[in-house]
Chains A and B, each alone.
Chain A
Amino acid sequence: MSNQNKKLKSIPDFRFTPTIDKVGVEERVARIQTRSIKDEAKLQGMKMVLNMIDLTTLEGKDTPGKVKQMCYKARHLHDAYPGCPTVAAVCVYPSMVSIAKNELKGSGVKVASVSTAFPSGQAPRNIKIDDTKFAVDSGADEIDMVISRGEFLAGNYNFVFDEIAAIKEACGKARLKVILETGELVTLDNVRRASEIAMYAGADFIKTSTGKIQPAATMQVTYVMLMAIKDFYRKTGIKIGMKPAGGISTSKLALHNLLMVKETLGDEWLTNEWFRFGASSLANDVLMQLMKAKTGAYQSADYFSID
């Protein structure tokens, strides 16, 4: 996995990526959203969702105190529910990585760090590389980088490609998630193109959004990225993970996302190795639903810890 580029026979010309029909995508997604996920499937699905969450805090006002509390929550989502899984990872700024790493020692919960001048990505490449190395040296298992949307929209696809490849190198053993910030790319054609650039440049995961721009992880965007992953896998044999982030705050929407993965990439992708949710408030909604399934009644939000 460390050097995918060696496995690739050739890099395509990104000016000619496959086109996407927006109306068709909307229809397909609407079909998935009318699916009815019930009983055992719902229960199992919700536990999978919890186990795929990257519990996230990305605020200017983040402090060690806040991060420590969130890390405890990551390991103890809801002790009142026996057998409750942990989340997959916590996602923090580079400055908080060492604190999170320390808090999560031995828990199996990974530490992901945003980098490359998140969220705007408006910094010189050497600074982005240093930012990434700092996070990795502090113990980050995963790096969530942002692409240079300005360069992408200006048509400088090679710049975007080279930058991702450079960050991948700086990641060493850490897995690289590439944030496309689809809300700024606007069209689904652009989402597809950016997905291909990221995958060919060495991304381990592709991710929709920073969470700072709306719209974020719409089902339509996630669908287009999943189909890009599928095509890439068929061409190269390399599996790429998917992370929708931003705007997924209800268990129903999360379950429909899971079902979309199942109907496109198949069961193989239904693990936190290959699929993640970037979310801060999703976990509690899922927990509330799980407790409802167990007790038969909805509990007040006050029974679920916010951190």
Chain B
Amino acid sequence: MSDVFGLTSQIKIMSKKDTKQNETVSWELSPAPESKGHISLKPKYDLFINGKWVKPSGGKYFDSINPATEEKLAEIAYASEADVDKAVKAAREAYTNVWSKLSGRERGKYIFRIARLIQERAREFAVIETLDGGKAIRESRDVDVPLAANHFFYYAGWADKLEYAFPNRKVESLGVAGQIIPWNFPLLMAAWKIAPALACGNTVVLKPAETTSLTALKLAEIIEESGLPAGVVNIVTGYGDTGAAIVNHPDVNKVAFTGSTNVGKIIQRAVAGTNKKLTLELGGKSANIIFEDAPIDQAVEGIVNGIFFNQGHVCCAGSRLFVQEGVADEVIQKLKDRMDHLYIGDPMDKNTDIGAINSKEQFDTIRKYIKIGKAEGNEIYESNCPVPSKGYFCRPTLILDVAQSSTLVQEEIFGPVLTVQTFRTVDEVIQKANNTPYGLAAGVWTDKGSKIFNLTTKLRAGVVWANTYNRFDPVSPFGGYKESGFGREGGKHGLEAYLKI
């Protein structure tokens, strides 16, 4: 195969002057792995409290694993309640003595500096994000890291303009913010949480998810380098009990959580009756709606981006597809074709579209749902792309002809699994799209502007994308309806969550 168009085949082509059939050659991409020689990872990471790296009081550490190879990357400190207490105290002191006394302009300078440092080390962040979380390097390089830097840039700009954001209102910072973030966009979620909190004059105790602590810890290194006053940002790593210690700490003024709806409910119960301000960004089962008059090929791309982006580990993933019956066959056919051309495999390869499932636990959950789909008697289509035999990889999957009452339509799967339903009229699809306890996002595909505006007012979802999906920008607020949470992150709205107005 190596010299198909070398000398021998040239003769073949020449002698075939009058025949109409050339042989089909197969042209496969060669591996294009991103190098990792330039990253620096310590074998062991301690807690970042009061501007210093301190050992966990219990002396316990846990491993962070590369889900694509199941190799250990580093040991991460396991913070106990006492460690969290130490972090909250440091944050309180920094708030009272330093941070709340600084002018907005001074705060902005530090945040700009953090943004620039992220950009300077973008490659290192992208590689570590991919090694630790399993997401394709293309995404961490082109989406996660640039967006994280942009969030810091955007909120740095607000730091000295808060009084203009809310005219005729006196705005005040809250105090200490306790923040708990998920494993699907580790660095980006840290940026979503830390940037507005600092801009508004609060100090922070942040806990990354236990499977993906590394980029948050690298961010701590950058924060150290930026000269941010000690204690303004504290990063404590650990499991659910570490998070619970943050939520329950009496000296925390604000809790911000992104993660599952179940945990969100527990947190809401825990803060009930306290004076803590709360924002929750939880699960979703978002509808992606394709009308007959949509640009079909681009809608198919949008479906793919909507559900297979980040292996479907996206709270706003377009996981319920609604296709108008007149184009259903065409859309499904084209979708299958497109799925067969996705590259799935080594997340470090620059050509990989779909990387590894983040953990064995999540992998098992996804398999469980596919099994339920089979048991329910649905038609299931798994893409034909080759899949590595080692590591947690899951083929992009369609569950076809599925009913609104099916478990797969009702529950969040958080993986590359898309349910496909058909509809006939606009009213029907609005009803079905809204018929879920969630309400995070939706997508609408049509060539007709009036139809878009009709739907955006009627869909009960925090974000509605028109003729695109999974587009993020620091300027645009993001958040949910119903059991997808409350409060908004991003944009001017994102400031409100960190201010007394």
Smallest Cβ distance from B426 to chain A, in angstroms?
18
Question: Can you name 8 A-B residue pairings with CB atoms under 8 Å?
Answer: A18-B297, A20-B297, A24-B467, A28-B301, A36-B351, A38-B29, A262-B27, A271-B24
Q: Is A39 an interface residue (CB 8 A)?
A: yes
Instruction: Provide the bound-state CA to CA distance between A40 and B31, in Å.
Output: 9
* Minimum distance in angstroms from A40 CB to a CB of chain B: 5
Asked whether A302 is an interface residue with its Cβ less than 8 Å from the other chain, the reply is no
Partner of B21, one of A27, A85, A273: A273
| B3 vs chain A, min Cβ distance (A) | 7
What is the minimal beta-carbon distance from A263 to any residue of chain B, in angstroms?
5
Option from A37, A85, A259 in Cβ contact (under 8 Å) with B5: A85
Interface size on B, residues (CB 8 A): 46
Q: How far is the CB of A219 from chain B (nearest CB, A)?
A: 14
- Does A83 have its Cβ within 8 Å of any Cβ on chain B? yes
Given contacts A47-B5, A83-B3, A107-B14, contact A23 B30 (CB under 8 A): no
Query: B27–A83 contact, CB under 8 A?
Result: no
User: Does any Cβ of B come within 8 Å of A155's Cβ?
Assistant: no
Across the interface, which residues of A come within 8 angstroms of B20, CB to CB? 1, 273
| 0/1 string, A234-258, CB within 8 A of B gives 1 | 1000000000000000000000001
Query: What is the minimal beta-carbon distance from B185 to any residue of chain A, in angstroms?
Result: 19
In the A-B complex, the 10 residue pairs with the smallest Cβ-Cβ separation, listed nearest first, are A24-B298, A108-B14, A36-B32, A47-B5, A83-B7, A83-B6, A21-B295, A271-B22, A21-B298, A39-B30
Tell whether, in the assembled complex, residue A27 and residue B301 are in contact, meaning their CB atoms are under 8 Å apart: yes
A23 and B467 contact, CB distance less than 8 A: yes
A267 near B7: Cβ-Cβ < 8 Å = no
Complex Cα gap A35–B20 (Å)? 31
Of the residues B6, B341, B447, contact of A263 by C-beta under 8 Å: B341
Q: Is the CB of A44 within 8 A of B298?
A: no
- Measuring CB to CB, which residues of chain B are less than 8 angstroms from any residue of chain A? 1-7, 9-10, 13-17, 20-32, 138, 142, 293-299, 301-302, 305, 333, 341, 350-351, 447, 467-468
Residue in B3, B23, B30, B301 with the greatest tally of chain A CB atoms within 10 Å: B30
Q: How far is the CA of A107 from the CA of B351 in the complex (A)?
A: 38
A42 located at the interface, meaning its Cβ lies under 8 Å from any Cβ of chain B in the complex = yes
Q: What residues of chain A have their CB less than 8 Å away from a CB belonging to chain B?
A: 1, 18-21, 23-25, 27-28, 34-42, 44-45, 47-48, 50-51, 82-83, 85-86, 107-108, 227, 234, 258-259, 262-263, 267-268, 270-273
Q: CA–CA, A82 to B5, complex, Å? A: 11
Nearest CB of B to A34, in Å: 6
Q: A28-B298, A41-B28, A82-B7 are in contact. Are A23 and B350 (CB under 8 A)?
A: no
Do A85 and B13 touch across chains, with their CB atoms under 8 A apart? yes
List the A side residues contacting B142 at CB < 8 Å: 34
- Knowing A108-B17, A267-B24, A270-B25, say if A20 contacts B298 (CB, 8 Å): yes
Cβ–Cβ contact B27 & A227, under 8 A = no
B29 touches A37 (CB 8 A): yes
Please pick, from A24, A38, A51, the residue contacting B30 in the complex, using a CB distance under 8 A: A38
- Residues of A within 8 Å of B30, CB to CB, are 37-42
| A35 in contact with B29 (CB, 8 Å) | yes
**In the bound complex, what is the Cα–Cα distance between A41 and B138 (angstroms)?**
19
Give the Cβ gap from A225 to chain B, nearest Cβ, in Å.
12
B32 touches A38 (CB 8 A): yes
The reply to whether A18 and B24 contact each other, CB–CB distance below 8 Å, is no
Residues from chain B with a CB closer than 8 A to the CB of A82 are 7
Contact B295 A51 (CB under 8 A): no
Q: Which of B16, B21, B24 has the most CB of A within 10 A?
A: B24
Report the Cα distance A165→B492, complex, angstroms.
59
- State A40–B447 Cα separation when bound (angstroms): 42
Closest chain A CB from B420 CB (angstroms): 19
> Do residues A44 and B2 form an inter-chain contact, with CB atoms below 8 A?
yes
User: Do residues B138 and A268 form an inter-chain contact, with CB atoms below 8 A?
Assistant: no
Q: Separation in Å of the B27 CB from the closest CB of chain A?
A: 6
A34 to B23 CA separation, bound complex (whole angstroms): 29
Give A42 to B6 CA distance when docked, in angstroms. 14
